[in-house]
Structure 1
């Protein structure tokens, strides 16, 4: 079944030279075919804010170093596809972009897999792939493939896992009115995320990861549902470890109310344990109109970054010119931690006023550290795209972002206060 959305995607994949990767979309998997392709974005953003916050596109990058930055959105991708034999395909994709401070060079490898077309309906891949939890899972770095300057930060900016090492199996089938795709992914991963408030980085390992996706395409419409679960292990830096050790000492004190608060603060310092993610996305693509909307919920065993996230976008094309509107929202599940003001009075009789004051200060510091992980803000943006040459597009976008108190987890050098910011962006996207 040929649909408008599938035709647009196939054209883009051919432009990128990745037909071999998506054999179920194109059917082109001829032996010995070798293709080198690439994509890139040259970007510039400027932020005006009533706070001294700096723009970050996602948790896995350092973010801007000043109000104006060319690093947040700029990136270069290279991709090699090889079909060594009938039914076999391989892909290697490198993405050079700003990452977290202590990210390893290996994290630049977004894809590295071997695929086998079991039949016309079944496809198996072994190696490194992208978790299929977004509509734009495979294309989030390919600016030319996106209508906007960048994916919505409220929805996409939280995701700490960029790649998955393991295996996936996909199955496609056709009904009278639609094309269906189901996929299961299993694997592990190791990524580096940035503690944006303090300019430090953390290593996050996801084990026993399973991703299930189901998509339905009919005409110009695509709907995609995803579920993922993983056992998360964060490697805290030295400062967080010391803070957690101090809190554990407070939990040992025979003051039940203080001990419980200290344990809760310790648990909330960073996520650990089972993480579950569910999302639903809807996309419309025609020659004139385009739109998409996604919503997700993240459940965490510990930490404060769990919550609801979503965005919606609508745009129109006039030959080479496009205009669009995009709005996003993130809402944390848990309220921010409050400073433990009662500790001073409750601990003084037992450990003395100086030690009680020190413990209260540690509790306040822990509450502030945990709150930096909260994402609670909304945004609305307007943009233009001009495809002025084959495989090249110029985009302009302006966003108004309103951030709630203790909800600025997506901003570099964020603070606990609420904030209002305007972001002006321009990008030049290309594929080759």
Structure 2
């Protein structure tokens, strides 16, 4: 029971962070949808993108690094599956106002994933004029700076989006959105509203959790290469409890015992472990700017969903173009403001009441639940150094080194860590391309 409970709880906390994604919008080149301008007569357009990557992970024994929580982890040192992916997209325009878009991505996914998860986009869009766009179906997510192209490595400077923030976020939303863009002088404004559902999960769970009643909005302002944006949303998180029902029953029984020290702790753990239909608020602020040969970006995210989690994540990147080369540096950090739970001491007070034979499994249950909840916390930071070489108009080589520091009870982004703290170094080479 220890393994199943721990794995499930790790997934639940990750799923909560992943599920609080709101507004959707498509619109970049390089394997993205049309750029928002009215299209002409009916036409079919095909495009694609991909990444070939190889990484060396120097981490504590058994630790598995993941770019995204939807990936499976591996304790191997040499990895090709972290960043490698291949995507294809079809756009079919039906005159100047209607368009059908589909995008499929082949990449490493967790054991819970179904074939349908490879479909990133599958939606119909309607543009009554040049300013308004309405979409329905499976749409991409635009609650973040890199949301439109986070799978298109050619479209951004680094090897991968900063994991402290982007590893926890799903890429698709099943529902509808409406957006409007307009010019005020030289300033480009965009505003978006959305509603729908999403599903999240992890390789260690059999059933992904649902994120329902998602509703939110985003506004952005762009002028002279400077983009500012903010988003806010609310959602209800339905967490699958199939694998933890026995643990919940055990905590209910302990909570009814006439031993206040044990009963109070058991009820508190039961509230954390059994939380479902959780209301969650999400806030995001982002900025990106290009000045001549310099480019930089920064982003901050806060997720508030007590009693499950209270998380902050942020990153900053800076790069400078030198001909075809762009050296860069970055820093990312994620933290949880809910303190780690102490290990319960139940065996001694329970022995006089239920005997040693009954106290031992109760203590084991408490240890397992606390370990699982603590292991689902995220407390880590990453320094990044790298260089991008645009050796071809449609391809780029990137070399990157990441130094990661993980605090105890903060290793939710790693598999096989057992909640331990430590540090790791990741060296990666990728070739990103579009076609």
Compute the TM-score of the two structures, normalised by the length of structure 2.
0.90
Counterparts of 1:266 and 1:48, CA distance in 2? 37
Pairing 1:317–2:331 present: no
Paired position in structure 2 for 1:175: 184
Report the number of matched residues.
408
Paired position in structure 2 for 1:139: 149
Paired position in structure 1 for 2:362: 359
User: Can you list the C-alpha shifts for 1:344-372, whole angstroms capped at 9, x where unaligned?
Assistant: 22222221122112101100010011112
Counterparts of 1:141 and 1:349, CA distance in 2? 58
Pairing 1:209–2:214 present: yes
Paired position in structure 1 for 2:31: 16
Counterparts of 1:370 and 1:303, CA distance in 2? 9
8 Å CA contact 2:147, 2:171 repeated in 1: no
Compute the TM-score of the two structures, normalised by the length of structure 1.
0.90
Alpha-carbon shift at residue 13 of structure 1 (Å):
3.9
Counterparts of 1:349 and 1:150, CA distance in 2? 56
Counterparts of 1:17 and 1:346, CA distance in 2? 61
Alpha-carbon shift at residue 216 of structure 1 (Å):
0.5
User: Can you list the C-alpha shifts for 1:399-427, whole angstroms capped at 9, x where unaligned?
Assistant: 11111001010012112221011011111
8 Å CA contact 1:270, 1:303 repeated in 2: no
8 Å CA contact 1:194, 1:202 repeated in 2: no
CA distance 1:257–1:119, change in 2 (3 Å): farther
Alpha-carbon shift at residue 242 of structure 1 (Å):
2.2
Map 1:166-245 onto structure 2 (within 5 A): 166-195=175-204, 200-238=205-243, 240-245=244-249
User: Can you list the C-alpha shifts for 1:300-354, whole angstroms capped at 9, x where unaligned?
Assistant: 13324x311000000001121111001000111211112101x122222221122
8 Å CA contact 2:38, 2:97 repeated in 1: no
Pairing 1:387–2:402 present: no
User: Can you list the C-alpha shifts for 1:239-262, whole angstroms capped at 9, x where unaligned?
Assistant: x33222222221222333322312
Counterpart pick for 2:66 among 53, 56, 59: 56
CA distance 1:270–1:36, change in 2 (3 Å): farther
8 Å CA contact 1:206, 1:230 repeated in 2: yes
Counterparts of 1:44 and 1:235, CA distance in 2? 34
Paired position in structure 2 for 1:3: none
- CA RMSD in angstroms comes to 1.7
Alpha-carbon shift at residue 98 of structure 1 (Å):
1.0
Gaps of 5+ in 1: 1-11
Alpha-carbon shift at residue 177 of structure 1 (Å):
4.0
Counterparts of 1:250 and 1:100, CA distance in 2? 35
Pairing 1:294–2:299 present: yes
Counterparts of 1:192 and 1:155, CA distance in 2? 16
User: Can you list the C-alpha shifts for 1:366-406, whole angstroms capped at 9, x where unaligned?
Assistant: 00111121110111010010111121011000011111001
Counterparts of 1:269 and 1:424, CA distance in 2? 37
CA distance 1:375–1:15, change in 2 (3 Å): closer
Paired position in structure 1 for 2:283: 278
Counterparts of 2:46 and 2:74, CA distance in 1? 31
Range with bigger deviation, 382-391 or 174-183: 174-183
User: Quick one: higher RCO (CA 8 Å, sep 6+), 1 or 2?
Assistant: 2
